[in-house]
Amino acid sequence: MKYTVATVAVTIALLTSCNNGPSERAALASVQQSFSSQVAPPAPAGPADYIVDAVSVGTPTAGRLIDITWKDQSGKTVRLSEYAKGKVVFLNFWATWCPPCRREIPDIVELSREMSNDLVVIGISLDDGSDAKAKVIKFAMDKGITYINIVPSATFSTKAIAEAYSVIAPINAIPTTFIFDRNGNHKQTIIGANTKSYFADAVKKAM
């Protein structure tokens, strides 16, 4: 991120003045807009923007959150450990072809919205094939999913993520959900579909 000395000086002068005139306010808005556009990519606009490409998975460690890296719609590389810092993590392995997975998704969507201050929900889609991403995007739009879902990319399969997490508990069936506390410690594995109230109780125990 590059800013000239003059830009910084203008920003400081404008921010410390309580009685800015129209020209000063216009200049301040311009500087703020420039700063904001360079700090972070735009927020997701809809369900399709929450579908991201798998990049890598960290070294498996029993009892601990294993880092996952993905690339978002803006092309930015994101690490799970940074994205979920300070929050409980709800990691859900699923697929669009799995009926129990499909049944529990609406409850997970509600959970992610209602507990967003304390919880990060991440879906790991085990769909495969060249149209895997398209399937997940369509499903996400149909169900109004507004939490990150990682799909296989041309260079990395989400099945490798499932294999890494098998060090914590074998993923022999889906849906399988792992819950980690704010410090990345594994607290619970939930095998099979469940309800929002059950999930909420499990998350609260991990807080």
- pLDDT tens for the chain, 207 residues: list them: 444 434 434 333 333 334 444 444 444 444 344 433 344 445 556 778 899 999 999 999 999 999 999 998 888 999 999 999 999 999 999 999 999 999 999 999 999 999 999 999 999 999 999 999 999 999 999 999 999 999 999 999 999 999 999 999 999 999 999 999 999 999 999 999 999 999 999 999 999
Residues 158 and 55: their CA atoms lie apart, in Å, by: 9
Do 65 and 124 lie in a common domain?
A: yes
Do 77 and 179 lie in a common domain?
A: yes
Q: For residue 97, give the DSSP letter.
A: T
Domain count, the chain: 2
User: Under a CB-based contact definition with an 8 Å cutoff, are residues 57 and 161 in contact?
Assistant: yes
Do 99 and 74 lie in a common domain?
A: yes
Do 156 and 186 lie in a common domain?
A: yes
On the 0-12 / 13-18 / 19+ scale of CB atoms within 10 A, 172 is: exposed
Do 126 and 200 lie in a common domain?
A: yes
Which domain covers residue 149, as residue numbers?
Answer: 47-206
- The residue type at 198: Y
Do 171 and 95 lie in a common domain?
A: yes
CATH number of the domain at 147, please.
3.40.30.10
Residues 189 and 165: their CA atoms lie apart, in Å, by: 11
